[in-house]
Amino acid sequence: DMVAQALALARRPHVVVATPGRLADHLRSSSTFSLRKVKFLVLDEADRLLEQGLADFGPDLELVLSAVPARRQTLLFSATLTGTLSQLRGLAAREPFFWEERGEVRTVQELEQRYLLVPEALKDAHLVHLVQTFQDLHQDWAIIIFTRTCKECQVLNMMLRRFSFPSVALHSMMKQVRGFGVGIGDLGGLDIPAVQLVLNHNTPGLPKIYIHRVGRTARAG
Predicted confidence (pLDDT) per residue in 87-112, tens digit: 666 556 567 777 776 665 555 566 77
Q: What is the pTM of this model?
A: 0.52
Does 220 fall in a domain? Answer: no
Confidence of residue 57 (pLDDT cuts 50, 70, 90): low
Confidence of residue 45 (pLDDT cuts 50, 70, 90): confident
Does 71 fall in a domain? Answer: yes
Q: 144: closest CA among 112, 175, 179, 169?
A: 169
Q: What letter represents residue 127's amino acid?
A: L
Does 86 fall in a domain? Answer: yes
42 — phi, psi (to 5°)?
Answer: -110, 125
Does 179 fall in a domain? Answer: yes
pLDDT at 27: 93
Beta bridge partners of 186: 191
Beta bridge partners of 143: 197
177 — phi, psi (to 5°)?
Answer: -95, 130
Structural domain span for residue 35: 2-91
User: Do 132 and 81 share a structural domain?
Assistant: no
Mean pLDDT calculated for residue range 120-146: 88
Taking a C-beta distance cutoff of 8 angstroms, is the pair 62, 29 a contact? Answer: no
Q: 188: closest CA among 59, 18, 9?
A: 18
pLDDT at 216: 62
Beta bridge partners of 191: 186
CA distance 200 to 146: 5
User: Do 70 and 33 share a structural domain?
Assistant: yes
CATH number for position 57: 3.40.50.300
pLDDT at 167 over 50: yes
Q: What letter represents residue 56's amino acid?
A: D
Mean pLDDT calculated for residue range 55-64: 75
Higher model confidence: residue 166 or residue 57? 166
Mean pLDDT calculated for residue range 208-213: 74
User: Do 200 and 147 share a structural domain?
Assistant: yes
pLDDT at 89: 64
